[in-house]
Amino acid sequence: MSAIATRYEVVVGLEVHAQILTQSKMFCGCSTDYLTAPPNANTCPVCLGLPGSLPVINRRAVEATIRTALALNCEIPEFSKFDRKNYFYPDLPKGYQISQYDLPLSRNGHLEFDLNGEARRCGITRVHLEEDTGKLLHEGAIHEAQASLVNFNRAGVPLMEIVSEPDLRSADEAREYVMRLRAILQYIGVNHGDMESGQLRCDANVSLRPAGSAGLGTKVEVKNMNSFRAIHRAIEYEVERQTQVLESGGRLAQETRGWNDARGLTVSQRSKEYAEDYRYFPEPDLPPLDVSREWVAQIRAGLPELPAARRERFMTAFSLSPYDAALLTSSKTMAEFFEETVRLGAPAKTAANWILGDFSRLLNIDRKEIDDASIKPRHLQQLISLVDSGAITGKMAKQTFEAMYRAPDPGPALEAARGSTQISGDAELDRIVDQVIAENVKSVADFRAGKEQALKFLIGQGMKISRGRANPQRLDALLREKIQ
């Protein structure tokens, strides 16, 4: 890595494809639900490319693209059009993809993010709108396959392409950029952000250049990265590979390489020297779009608070640390969960700790999102208030939380905790403290001799005897009183 740091600068640009959440496809009324439908069930003359069929633009897809572009600080030109990108592939029913070439819906934006507490900014070249392709199923391994099976359910699903400038300087930055971008897409409700199922896809252009130089090195396009982890690993691998080629005096080929996650390496797919000539030209079947300023203002007015703004607000309104605020706002649902918990009366810091601590840990293990959990803000708020009132201990609360999390209905676990309230009667506590003092003569002596540490042990013994039902603060007080 030292060679990279000193001799080469890493240059990464990302192309992110995001399916737009719509009911119907980009140019026809077929359902976009391609993951569950039987093969080729969601198809019609338009998305099968039957002779004579014609496309009609889905307004919601256009608006979602403008919405995204606004969230990414893009300019929205007043005129935009669709173009045909011509190439042959069996998943492309018309022999061309309706896309946007020289007049996309938006351009010149940027995305800001933090990396290790440092502010970063990546330029957004453009956000444009196009249609997805169908899916190929290979019979056997791709290289030995005799045939492929084609399913056009995905063909025509609206797709945004978000192209970044080559402003990213490391795998860490690239991953962080995609995480931020994903959060924004989820925030504004245009995409679910699921990378594994391909609703969000990422290609990276990776090159190296001598440190201090402004030119661009030979660009390698890396495809097939299906997770944040894969993006990170693939770019790290590619940087290492390119460094080695350059270090050993070799030359890099301008090519497309596929990330093989299982083997942890990139594999050359095709050389760009035989680059396809896409013969873009204006789509004659679709009149252009006049994007009036009123329309843009209307879409802008409908934008929710974006992660960056929300994060600022969390820091000022709830006195959260920048780190906690960033984590909480990285997911729209998590931020909303947090805000609702606080609104119901929980102290902000405590709510944040629960959500970012135990809750996130359990969700991560189960690979679940916060809104998939049975625990709702009111449950968490009630649990926090039980702790704060001294009714249950923090330790009990943790156990209760896990029980609530595991149950389809968190209610009973919460009620059980409420019922088995802490020992508050002085008589019982007295008895426990007496027992602790009697059984731990040495520690009592140590504490008398000034060892504060010994008291902690004694409190622990008290908790043990009470099976966690004693209030540690009160044990502390009572022990001090009786020993001294």
Partner 1 sequence: MKLYQRTIRDLHQMLVDREISSVELTDAVLSQIDAVGDTTKAYLLVTRELALRQAQAADERLRANRDVRPLTGIPIALKDVLCVRDVVSTAGSKILRGFTPPYSATVVERLEGEGAVFLGKTNCDEFAMGSSNENSGYWPVRNPWSLDRVPGGSSGGSAAAVASGEAIAALGSDTGGSIRQPAALTGIVGLKPTYGRVSRYGLIAFASSLDQIGPMTRDVVDGALLLQAIAGHDPSDSTSSLRPVPDYLATLTDGVKGMRLGVPKEYFVAGMEPAVEQSIRDAIRLLEQQGASIEEVSLPHSDVALPAYYIIAPAEASSNLARYDGTRYGFQAGGGRNLIEEYMLTRQQGFGAEVKRRIMLGTYALSSGYYDAYYLQAQKVRTLIIEDFKQAFKKVDALLGATSPTAAFELGAKTQDPVAMYLNDIITIPANLGNVCGISVPCGLVDGLPIGLQVIAPGFGEAAALRVAYAFEAATQFHKARSPLMGAAA
Partner 2 sequence: MPEPESELSSRQVEHVARLARLGITPEEVTRYRDQLRNILHHIEALNRADTSKVPATAHPLEERNVMREDRREPSLPAEAALRNAPSREDSYFKVKAIQE
Residue 348 backbone zone (phi > 0: left; psi -120 to 50: alpha; other: beta): alpha
Is beta strand 255-260 parallel, antiparallel or unpaired with respect to 96-99?
unpaired
Cβ burial, residue 447 (10 Å; 0-12/13-18/19+): buried
31/333 with CB nearer partner 2: 31
For position 320 contacting Zn ion by CB under 5 A, the verdict is no
Residue 63's nearest CA partner among 186, 189, 163, 187 is 189
Residue whose tokens read 């440190």: 211
Number of residues that bind partner 1 (CB under 8 A): 29
Out of 5, 35, 75, 90, name the contact with partner 1 by CB under 8 A: 90
Q: What is the DSSP letter of 215?
A: S
Binders of partner 1 among 96-115, rule CB under 8 A?
Answer: 96
Q: Would you tell me which residues interact with partner 2 (CB under 8 A)?
A: 22-24, 28-31, 38-45, 48, 56-62, 81, 88-90, 136-138, 142-143, 145-152, 270, 277, 279, 281-282, 284, 286-290
Residue among 388, 395, 380, 397 at smallest CA distance from 342 = 380
Q: How far is the CB of 402 from partner 1 (least distance, A)?
A: 54
357 touches partner 1 by CB under 8 A: no
Site map 281..300 versus partner 1, x via CB under 8 A = x--xxxx-------------
Cβ atoms 21, 222 nearer than 8 A: no
Q: Which of 269, 403, 300 is CA-nearest to residue 67?
A: 300
Q: Is 139 in the site for partner 1 (CB under 8 A)?
A: no
Contact 83, 283 (CB under 8 A): yes
Q: Residue 151: which of partner 2, partner 1, Zn ion, none does it interact with, CB under 5 to 8 A by kind?
A: partner 2
Closest approach of Cβ 30 to Zn ion, in Å?
3
Q: What part of residues 366-395 is at the interface with partner 1 (CB under 8 A)?
A: none
**280: Cβ–Cβ under 8 A, 6 or more apart, which residues?**
83, 84, 85, 86, 99, 101, 102
**Cα separation, 153 vs 156, whole angstroms:** 8
Q: 11, 16, 30, 432: which one contacts Zn ion (CB under 5 A)?
A: 30
CA 47 to chain centre: 31
Residue 282 CB, shortest distance to partner 2, in Å, is 4
Instruction: Identify residue 154 by its one-letter amino acid code.
Output: R
Q: Provide the minimum distance between the beta carbon of 344 and partner 2 in the complex, in angstroms, as a whole number.
A: 35
Site membership for partner 1, residue 95 (CB under 8 A)? yes
Give whichever of 46 and 479 is closer to Zn ion, judged by the CB atom: 46
Question: 49 contacts which partner out of partner 2, partner 1, Zn ion, none, CB within 5 to 8 A by kind?
Answer: partner 1
* Minimum distance, C-beta of residue 364 to partner 1, in the bound complex (Å): 43
Residue 28 in the binding site for Zn ion (CB under 5 A): yes
Q: Is 26 in the site for Zn ion (CB under 5 A)?
A: no
93 binds partner 1 (CB under 8 A): yes
Cα separation, 400 vs 422, in Å, equals: 14
Of the two residues 280 and 295, which places its CB atom closer to partner 1 in the complex? 280
Q: Which does 52 bind (CB under 5 to 8 A by kind): partner 1, partner 2, Zn ion, none?
A: partner 1
| Binding status of residue 56 toward partner 1 by CB under 8 A | yes
Residue 147 or 365: which CB sits closer to partner 2? 147
Q: How far is the CB of 286 from partner 1 (least distance, A)?
A: 5
Taking CB under 5 A as the rule, which mask of x and - marks residues 42-61 in contact with Zn ion? --x-xx--------------
CA-CA distance, 100 to 107, in Å (whole number)?
12
62 versus 417: smaller Cβ distance to partner 2: 62
Q: Nearest distance from residue 243's CB to Zn ion, in Å?
A: 47
How many Cβ atoms sit within 10 Å of the Cβ of residue 187? 22
The C-alpha R_g of the chain, in whole angstroms, comes to 29
Interstrand relation of 106-115 and 265-271 (parallel, antiparallel or unpaired) = unpaired
Cβ proximity to partner 1: between 96 and 354 the closer is: 96
Q: Give residues with Cβ within 8 angstroms of 16, minimum separation 6.
A: 161, 162, 163, 164, 178, 181, 200, 201, 202, 203
Q: How far is the CB of 144 from partner 2 (least distance, A)?
A: 8
